[in-house]
Amino acid sequence: MDLGCGPGNSTETLLACAPHAKITGIDNSGDMIAAARKRLPEVQFELADISAWRAEGPYDLILANVSLQWVPDHETLFPALVAKLAEGGQLAVQMPDNLDEPAHRLMREAAADGPWRDKLKGVERTARYRAEWYYSLLKPQCASVDVWRTTYHHPLEGGIDAIIEWFKGSALRPFLARLDAQEATAFLDRYRAGLKTACTVLEDGTVLLPFPRLFIVATR
Ligand SMILES: C[S@@+](CC[C@H](N)C(=O)[O-])C[C@H]1O[C@@H](n2cnc3c(N)ncnc32)[C@H](O)[C@@H]1O
């Protein structure tokens, strides 16, 4: 089972590992499901939301690669997913774990430090769940739980502004959505000043953006 299969990249990897398995992918984006069906016509893909996914299984493997960070209530979601596993089956999850990184912390600080403070209240997100939390949650239901964290360093060309451009498509969006053009410029100036103190720009203008990711493999 591939939860949040996107255009089928992760499903294709599953298929290569287990060519004779019965594989299903779900995603809540119609475009993604259409792309996945085109890419892997032999696999079953369904338009569905992970939160509302009620199939009982049992499954040998439930994979969720970079999708569960969008789904709320991990305290009920993760045990419910493990309950769908066959004995010896595995839940394999990978999620970004970057909310404590300076680039995110500085975003929250910029939000709290300006005339836009009230407008931006409640936008900031902090890391809710940590490795220990997942381990403690899953261990009572599982024979083994492996959790590890890897930091990828993404090389971005273009100095500090490249970091801002990178986040404009993701983490900065909810902040900028609440500001008018003038406030947005001032907010980004404040954010940029913070980044300048925290990030190293290499001689050729490259910045290595640290991107930690959390991996969990829980075996029932
Ligand atoms: C970053 S992509 C990962 C795609 C694929 N798993 C991969 O490894 O290439 C995340 C996918 O999760 C899907 N997604 C996010 N929230 C979802 C939800 N609540 N239910 C189902 N799919 C969801 C998105 O539509 C997107 O296709």
27 alpha carbon to ligand 1 midpoint, in Å?
Answer: 6
117 alpha carbon to ligand 1 midpoint, in Å?
Answer: 32
Query: How far apart (Å, rounded) are the C-alpha atoms in residues 91 and 69?
Result: 15
Query: How far apart (Å, rounded) are the C-alpha atoms in residues 27 and 11?
Result: 12
The finding on whether 7 has its CB within 6 A of some atom of ligand 1 is no
The finding on whether 100 has its CB within 6 A of some atom of ligand 1 is no
What is the tens place of the pLDDT at every residue in 188-213?
A: 999 999 999 999 999 999 999 999 99
Type and span of the H or E element at 10: helix 9-17
| Cβ count within 10 A of residue 208 | 14
Residue of 17, 23, 70, 215 to test ligand 1 pocket, by largest number of atoms within 8 Å of CB? 70
Nearest to 125 by CA among 154, 144, 105: 105
What is the tens place of the pLDDT at every residue in 92-127?
A: 999 999 988 999 999 999 999 999 999 999 887 766
| Cβ count within 10 A of residue 174 | 15
Query: How far apart (Å, rounded) are the C-alpha atoms in residues 108 and 123?
Result: 8
Domain ranges of the chain: 56-219
Q: What's the pTM?
A: 0.89
CATH class of the domain comprising 56-219: alpha beta
